[in-house]
Structure 1
Amino acid sequence: MKKKFIITIALVLLMLLSFTGLALAFDSGGNPGVKGPNTIEWTGQGADDDGVLDTEYCPSPDAVPDGIDPNSYLLWIFTTDGGEATAGQIHLGGSGSGEYAWATNPGGSFHFFTPYFTPDSNLTAYVDFNVADPGNGAWILTISHGCPGEKDYEELTVSKTVETSFTRVHSWDIAKMVETENGYTHDGFPKVWLYIDGHGNEQATWTVDVSYLGYEDGGHKVSGVITIENTGTLDAVITNIEDVMGLSAFVVNGVNTTAIYPNVTCDADPIDGKYALAVGQTLTCNYSYDGNAQGVNTVTVTTERDTYSATAAIVWGAPTTEVNKTVTVKDISDLFGEVVLGTVTAPNDGQFTYTKDFAWADYGADLCGDYVYDNTASIVETEQSASAKLKVNVQCYVYETAYAKGNPGLCFIPDFSNWGWTNLIKQSLSSYTWD
């Protein structure tokens, strides 16, 4: 009897609420039971206890209402499972906020788009509606899917430069010779014979040949800058920076090598071997290696969360320094003093010539005799030199003794040779007058 009374009282209360227009409320998964105003409370459907969505779609595959970001949204679906209702709005509370009208009503269900809020226990949501037919099924308010938007993330942007430098040393050779028109020599050296009558007068020509022998490269160096920028939204802790040079095989000092690890120094001091890089900060490091490395150069940056890298090719271009590419040739001689002949630039050879006319009249009787003229050409930068020697004989006046006038030209005084007076021979070889 008591049980029937309680049931009767409950039915009366429901009827009173229905007549007075007061809304009822029930949890998602229940049934409103009666017609009239009502609300359904969300109880976590569509997400786990940590607030992680069961389904994510970024961006939204469906059109979203104005004011909703397709990359940061929640799609709520309210279903009546055979019942009928006229829905109003979804109301968010707790960590969420706002009231949002339904966007679409496919198949009797109501779809609501709201901004994204973490769907954990701090978020509350309910939909108000008017029940036309409660039906017998479970009415559900759930999150179909959503997109949490941009999450905090670690991202390092790593870049590097590669600069090569080396020195090229050019090699040269120098040779020198002197030639005469008549081609006479004496003791292996060219010689000019100048006679009183001038018939020995001639020209001598000196030739300086500078030959390019090639070059040798050395002092190779690879260096550059590594730039590590924190472009993410989380601070990063760098645990290792490794620069590897020459991932393609090459030879260094006669040894076949596949990888070289150059020295890396950064503009900040590590703490316990680690670099703390806050959001927006940049770490700059320098590296260098002395040697002719080939291939590519790769830097790998390791953090507590991830690994980042950057690669650049090692390209050897023109030498940064050239030694003796252009050389100066000078000449020092007894005849001309010190003279700069000119310059020669690799890879060309160079030749310099100069001449001098020799005549007996330039010396005369007072300067007759033998002369040796030394001449040295040199490359100023390398101090290499080459010499050429020219001999010159200037004929003196010839004197004959008196006894030579006779035939057989013997002195008529016994036991006395080379006696007497002398007779100057004139400057004619065809005849002369006895004084």
Structure 2
Amino acid sequence: MMKHARRLALGVAVLLVAAGCSDVNDVAAPTFDAPEGALFSAEAEPQVLASSVYSEVWDGIRGLDSERCDKVGEGPRGPEGWMHWIFATKGASTDASLTLGGTGSGTYEPGEPLEANTWHFYTPFFELDGLTAEIHLNGAPGTGGGLVLSDYCPGGKTLDVTKTADTKFTREHKWDIDKKVETDKGFTIGEDKTPKIWLYTDGSGDETATWKVDVTYEGYEDRDFVIFGDITIKNISTDAAPKSVTSIVDDIGIPGYGNVLVSCTDGADNAFTNANLPRDIAQGETWNCTYRVEITDGDAKKGDQGTNVVKVRVAGETDPYVDTDPWMFDAPTTEINKTVQVTDHSDLFGDKLLGSVTAPNKRTFTYDRDFAWADYGADECGSYQYDNTAKIVETGQEADATLKVNVQCFIDETAYAKGMVPPALQVDSFCEAGFSQWGWTNKIAAGSYSWPMWAGAGQCDTSRGERVGKVDVTYATGSFSAIITLEPGYTLLEEHVYAGSTQFPQVQQGRRRVNTVAPGQYYIEGNLSGDIWVIVHGVVGFPDPNFGPAL
């Protein structure tokens, strides 16, 4: 148990005559031996205030926990022990006295600071159990907390020992992340059911894809439990000779952790530990010590609590000096990944921050994109794969989703116009003229004509080809036009027209001009007149008939 002297120790206040009634002539002053150099004596005979207009009795509770032997030497607090009483507030009172009874005795006048707005009294120490106190005021008090025992020390002790016990632990939050992409039509491909979009040239496959990133909270793990604190040891003995501290034993209250290392510095800042004892501590010297105990994972959890006890022994004394402080692992001091950031990297959207999630919540991030054949067109038809990765930045966890997009292509085919006789004057095939390329040249007079466009008619045989549209030709002296119109589902990718006086276009070859049917060499002569020859060529695209999901 903690040491407490049971004798009366003289404080710094002036001792007044003990009084249990207003007739001070009937009360004898208490007698005691004042130590050499004490600031009060038993010779003074002050009285309970005869003009007292207010009194208040101490409740016997307030201040019982205010033992502060570490304050020895502060102001009138001597090593013999003391009681420091406070009454708040003075109000209109101009004088006061404090009378102790029960285990205590004496009437005491106020001590410094007299100019404060509260009354201060310093008395010797008396046994707390059974002690009574009553204050008398000359004048009305102000509002405040009343009479309280502010601090005290029993005196007669060699050491004053105080300690603190603090805790800390780390909580790491756990997360999971998942990602998927879904389409309106729900087509998939492969064993892994990868979503796939089929974009048709007519727009019938246009649809929206939606990505979802689910971040879920998976609980937490507590670790790195630590109990730590300070221990202060002060020599408050009245004996000028140094004292030998033989042991400092700190017990945190968890089995298996009794041999706690305590690190100290003495009054000259010399460092040592409780493994380096015994060691002398001079009168008035203070040792400032610290300790830290790391608890093995599994030996502690949130909510665990206990009492940390330190015992300091002095050579020649039977009982140790003890102080305690309760501890509890009530809340984590460090939280890892309590709030996490979620990012997204994709071929379609680039890098973006989706947002954050804070434990214990979960969150779903959703975004979408419309896909249309027109966004790609014939020039960018084909197959595409769009990969997408979502990531929890703090943990590095990732989730992937893949979307495949097929864009229908046109199949290119050569097409030529073939006139009919009549109304055309003459229609000759390239094949008959000895060219390897198939097609037709048409001789016409001034007028308007409408001819079918044939695609894929190899060897100049229309039964091998397909009629894909028509061309409307209008010719008059000095003017010429040819307008191609295709059947639905076909696209005109290129067109070339020849109109001239010779059966075929002609190009310079050395010193002579020769006939050609190469579409890139076609031209329209200026100042057309009379009968002319016309060749109309186009490159026609039509949707790939094999495009689409397998049925």
TM-score (normalizing by structure 2): 0.45
Q: Which secondary structure state, in structure 2, belongs to the residue aligned with residue 314 of structure 1? A: strand
The residue aligned with 1:311 is: 324
Q: What's the CA shift for 1:274?
A: 2.0
The residue aligned with 1:289 is: 293
- Structure having greater relative contact order (Cα 8 Å, sep ≥ 6): 1
In structure 2, the CA distance between the partners of 1:275 and 1:343, relative to structure 1 (3 Å rule), is: same
Match of 2:160 among 157, 161, 185: 157
1:70 partner amino acid = T
TM-score (normalizing by structure 1): 0.57
Inter-partner Cα distance in structure 1 for 2:196 and 2:228? 61
Q: What's the CA shift for 1:229?
A: 2.0
The residue aligned with 1:242 is: 249
Inter-partner Cα distance in structure 2 for 1:311 and 1:349? 43
2:203 partner amino acid = G
More displaced, 269-278 or 194-203? 269-278
Inter-partner Cα distance in structure 2 for 1:205 and 1:231? 77
In structure 2, the CA distance between the partners of 1:258 and 1:420, relative to structure 1 (3 Å rule), is: same
1:169 is the counterpart of 2:130: no
The residue aligned with 1:222 is: 227
Q: Which secondary structure state, in structure 1, belongs to the residue aligned with residue 410 of structure 2? A: coil
Q: What's the CA shift for 1:295?
A: 1.8
1:346 is the counterpart of 2:359: yes
Q: What's the CA shift for 1:239?
A: 1.1
Q: What's the CA shift for 1:186?
A: 1.7
Root-mean-square deviation over aligned CA pairs: 4.1
After TM superposition, the runs of 4+ consecutive aligned structure 1 residues lying more than 4 A away are 56-69, 149-152, 269-272, 398-402, 418-427
The residue aligned with 2:386 is: 373
Inter-partner Cα distance in structure 2 for 1:295 and 1:392? 64
Q: What's the CA shift for 1:419?
A: 7.2
Count of matched residue pairs: 284
Q: Unaligned 5+ residue runs, structure 2? A: 1-6, 11-16, 35-123, 126-153, 416-456, 470-484, 493-538, 541-551
Residue by residue, what CA displacement relative to the aligned partner does 1:93-136 show, whole Å, maximum 9, x if unpaired? xxxxxxxxxxxxxxxxxxxxxxxxxxxxxxxxxxxxxxxxxxxx
Please give the residue correspondences for 1:31-430 in structure 2 after superposition, counting only pairs within 5 Å: 70-72=31-33, 153-187=156-190, 188-234=193-239, 235=241, 236-246=243-253, 257=255, 259-268=257-266, 273-291=277-295, 294-304=305-315, 305=317, 306-398=319-411, 428=488
Inter-partner Cα distance in structure 1 for 2:361 and 2:331? 18
Cα contact 1:205–1:353 (8 A) shared by 2: yes
Residue by residue, what CA displacement relative to the aligned partner does 1:386-416 show, whole Å, maximum 9, x if unpaired? 11010111111245799xxxxxxxx999xxx
Q: Which secondary structure state, in structure 1, belongs to the residue aligned with residue 204 of structure 2? A: coil
Cα contact 1:58–1:71 (8 A) shared by 2: no
Inter-partner Cα distance in structure 1 for 2:250 and 2:346? 59
Identity score, percent? 45
The residue aligned with 1:118 is: none
Inter-partner Cα distance in structure 2 for 1:155 and 1:412? 120
Q: What's the CA shift for 1:320?
A: 1.8
In structure 2, the CA distance between the partners of 1:295 and 1:389, relative to structure 1 (3 Å rule), is: same
2:172 partner amino acid = V
1:174 partner amino acid = I
Inter-partner Cα distance in structure 1 for 2:361 and 2:376? 41
In structure 2, the CA distance between the partners of 1:152 and 1:338, relative to structure 1 (3 Å rule), is: closer
Q: What's the CA shift for 1:184?
A: 1.1
Q: What's the CA shift for 1:237?
A: 2.3
In structure 2, the CA distance between the partners of 1:335 and 1:243, relative to structure 1 (3 Å rule), is: same
Please give the residue correspondences for 1:5-24 in structure 2 after superposition, counting only pairs within 5 Å: none
Cα contact 1:401–1:421 (8 A) shared by 2: no
In structure 2, the CA distance between the partners of 1:328 and 1:152, relative to structure 1 (3 Å rule), is: closer
Cα contact 1:401–1:422 (8 A) shared by 2: no
